[in-house]
Amino acid sequence: ETAVYEGKAFGVSSYGSISAGQNLTMIGNTDGKYIHFNGLLLSFSSGGVLLEFLENPTVVSQGSLQTISNKNRSLNTSASMSVYFGGSITGGTLIFTDKPPITTGVGQRVSSANSGIDAGWILKPSTIYAIKLTNTTSETVTFSASFGWTEL
């Protein structure tokens, strides 16, 4: 955890809802640095949310700039990566995907679901990445999301 002591580790979190058939996109621009992506944790009120991790999508709208926290609370070093929630994208190269089931094997509806992206990805500098969550159900799904990274 040397990066935390040096003030190079950051995190962001949010929560909200995604209406039936709609999506939410989280967009990050790595600026001029390599980024060690330390993973994404997601919790949903039900299954059926498609997770897509995309490289170099076209940004149609950025969304709302998020507050990023330095994991070393005694330093006020700012992150070079910017993160936006609620934007819109098209295209991009799919590099990871996941979709928790809506029902169990015996036909019972899933009351909550978890998803995420494991740690260990090294992201290219000056590249746009997006995490797109698409609600494939007929009901609104609530979620919480948190992820972290280290700037190399």
DSSP E strands in 23-127: the ranges are 23-29, 35-44, 49-55, 58-65, 69-70, 82-90, 93-98, 113-117, 121-123
Query: With contact defined as beta carbons under 8 Å apart, do 114 and 100 qualify?
Result: yes
Q: What pLDDT was estimated at residue 145?
A: 94
Average pLDDT, the chain: 91
Is residue 50 scored above 70 in pLDDT?
yes
Residues 6+ away with beta carbon under 8 Å from 90: 57, 58, 60
pTM: 0.91
Q: Range with the lowest mean pLDDT among 31-35, 44-48, 98-102, 120-124?
A: 98-102
Is residue 110 scored above 70 in pLDDT?
no
CA distance 19 to 136: 9
Is residue 106 scored above 80 in pLDDT?
no
The predicted model gives 124-147 an average pLDDT of 94
Question: What SS3 class is residue 2?
Answer: helix
Q: How far is CA 64 from CA 43, 88, 103, in A?
A: 21, 11, 33
Q: What pLDDT was estimated at residue 113?
A: 75
The predicted model gives 74-95 an average pLDDT of 96
Query: With contact defined as beta carbons under 8 Å apart, do 125 and 32 qualify?
Result: yes
The predicted model gives 10-34 an average pLDDT of 95
CA distance 11 to 143: 17
Q: Please, where are the H alpha helices in 15-128?
A: none
- Reported as a pLDDT band with limits 50, 70 and 90, residue 109 is low
Q: What pLDDT was estimated at residue 31?
A: 92
Is residue 52 scored above 60 in pLDDT?
yes
